[in-house]
Amino acid sequence: MKKKVTKPIKRKCYSCGKMATNPYVYHVVPALSYGEEIPVYSKSAPKTDRITLRGNKKVDVYNYCNNQCKSDRPPTCR
Ligand SMILES: [Zn+2]
């Protein structure tokens, strides 16, 4: 049997634009305003923490080389 080789993940850094290997991934979960519809989750879905449950409709994912790049250009900059 062949050994499975784990491919390194490469993502473009949101801050500097370089291709980062095994990037620092930052998820932005927008908070829903009160009264907004909460999406229904399937039972088979992995357990999510409370913050994720509040608004999983649209989760933004930002990739960075590291934490430094993240502080250089925080996800809130659009
Ligand atoms: Zn970077």
Q: In angstroms, what is the span from residue 8 Cα to ligand 1's centroid? A: 16
Q: In angstroms, what is the span from residue 56 Cα to ligand 1's centroid? A: 26
**In this prediction, what percent of the chain has a pLDDT beyond 90?**
38
Which pTM value belongs to this model? Answer: 0.56
Q: For 36-65, what is the mean pLDDT?
A: 66
DSSP the chain: -PPPPPPPPEEE-TTT-PEEES-EEEEE-PPPPTTPPPPP--TTSPP--HHHHH--S--EEEEESSHHHHHHS-TT--
Q: In angstroms, what is the span from residue 62 Cα to ligand 1's centroid? A: 11
Residues 65 and 15: their CA atoms lie apart, in Å, by 8
